[in-house]
Amino acid sequence: MKKILSIIGLSALLFTSCSKDKDAIILQGEGKVTLTMDAVFGNQDFALKKDFTTSGITYNFTKFRYWLSNVVLVSTTGQEIKVSGSYYLMEETGEIKLTGVNNDLPTTVYPATKRESVVLKEVPAGDYKSIKFSIGVDQKYNDNMSLQSGELSQLNGMTNISWMWLTSYIFTSAGGKVSDGKTTKTMLIETGLNANYKTIVLDLPKNLSITSSTSTSIVVNADLSKVTDGIDVMTNPVVGASKATVMAPVANNYANKVFTIKSVN
């Protein structure tokens, strides 16, 4: 009888816990999904130190970096499965020289890196219809960099003390050169600040079936040609917190234009 009561009590506890968190739940499972954020420029594969031209403006990138965070898979029943600790630095960059805060630490070199894929583990088996993720770092961690989760770190050049009196994360960073054919300028288009933390929902072209015995993948295009859509980059080749009115539409481009589903397997 005690066993029966214990099972009933446990079931009630589980039901109550789930009911309190209808927006997103964290479950353990055996399935896994490879999520690839494939950088492109229009219909071309993205590469560093390569010219890309659109609307009469030529871009040549030396880096493209952004925080991919708070990944959620949405099942065909509407259940949201949150990937625990999902803070990933996605990037394609050459070497970056890093200096300590206020130059009180020696200069270090962040190595050239290309990282487009992450593996989402412990996903419950089932059918999924969409994926949600955010670009940037949510306020809890952005306002208090002593807190750690996933890959969040101050040691990778994705923080900036010059933006505000508090240190905060750089959400996205695209740098290089930009030219209109007459003039060439150094370009650094960055987003940050809590108001520019964006969540994106992408419907999958077909349901994604996850089991413990099959390999599954989602490929998302990250189109750099859309980053500066509607922005005069020759007038504003450098965008940071000091140009908040320009930064906001760049962040909106990331939210609404940059990311699209390429394939599901």
The pLDDT of residue 154: 78
The pLDDT of residue 3: 40
The pLDDT of residue 126: 93
The pLDDT of residue 105: 57
The whole-angstrom separation of Cα 201 and Cα 99 is: 36
DSSP state of 124: P
The pLDDT of residue 24: 52
Where does residue 140 rank: exposed (0-12), middle (13-18), buried (19+ CB within 10 A)?
A: exposed
Tokens representing 86 are: 């999902």
Taking the chain (265 residues) in consecutive chunks of 10 residues, what is each chunk's mean pLDDT?
39 40 51 96 97 97 97 97 95 82 64 94 94 97 90 80 62 97 97 96 97 93 97 96 92 98 96
The pLDDT of residue 125: 93
Residue 235 CB partners (closer than 8 Å, separation 6+): none
**pTM assigned to the model:** 0.84
